[in-house]
Structure 1
Amino acid sequence: MGKERHSEEKILEILGRIENGEAIAAVSRSTGISRKTIQNWKATYSRQPKSDDAKRLKQLEDENARLKKLVADLALDNAMLKDVVGKKW
């Protein structure tokens, strides 16, 4: 039986339920995740941003990558135009 991977959003959702007062044992039973795993997540993700912050960060990273690609394309076009204009006919 292989390990099941949970998304960061799902982990933060489960930890949010615990922060809202639900017992770790109850969350463990309802999700089918061991208490030890939840405790490890709590130790790891307690320093992580909240779910909304994580989504926003992902959006900003995607936008940043798109803009970097756009700048690289424009720089390449600019270099090609300079080469064409710089040649003597």
Structure 2
Amino acid sequence: MNKRRKRYNPEQIVRKLRDADAMLNAGKDLAAVLQALEVSESSYLRWRNKSGRMKSEEAKRLKQLEDETKRLKELVADLSLVKKMLKYISEGNW
């Protein structure tokens, strides 16, 4: 029986991290907090390292910038391939 993996957007992650901070400050232990938030310890630690004390707007902007960077890298790779092909054809090696 496989559980479906949940994906959280940046706003949800920041909200869960804030809730976790509130629960931890109230005296709950980490295991109870993770169970209440329905996330694993590895996810929580990864989110904490990546998002830290970001606000939801900052996390959303970070995600947008990462997506844009990925798209631009793909464009550069495509243009490099086209340049290489044109150079090969112009040399008459085809």
| Separation in 2, partners of 1:57, 1:65 | 13
Q: Which residue of 1 aligns with 2:72?
A: 63
Matched position secondary structure for 2:91: helix
Identity %: 9
Verify the 8 A CA contact 2:16 2:37 in the aligned structure 1: no
RMSD (Å), alpha carbons: 3.0
How far 1:42 sits from its partner (Å)?
A: 2.0
How far 1:35 sits from its partner (Å)?
A: 2.8
Q: Which residue of 1 aligns with 2:63?
A: 54
Judged with a 3 Å threshold, the aligned counterparts in structure 2 of structure 1 residues 34 and 4 are, in CA distance, closer, same or farther, namely farther
Q: Which residue of 1 aligns with 2:5?
A: 5
Judged with a 3 Å threshold, the aligned counterparts in structure 2 of structure 1 residues 69 and 58 are, in CA distance, closer, same or farther, namely same
Flag the structure with more relative contact order, 1 or 2, with Cα contacts below 8 A and sequence separation at least 6.
2
State TM-score, norm by structure 2: 0.56
How far 1:73 sits from its partner (Å)?
A: 1.0
Question: Which structure would you say has the larger Rg?
Answer: 1
Q: Runs of 5+ in structure 1 lacking a partner?
A: 25-32, 85-89
How far 1:19 sits from its partner (Å)?
A: 4.2
How far 1:81 sits from its partner (Å)?
A: 0.8
Q: Which residue of 2 aligns with 1:77?
A: 86
Cα deviation digits, residues 5-37 of structure 1 (max 9, x gap): 222xx253333114445756xxxxxxxx94374
Q: Runs of 5+ in structure 2 lacking a partner?
A: 24-33, 52-58
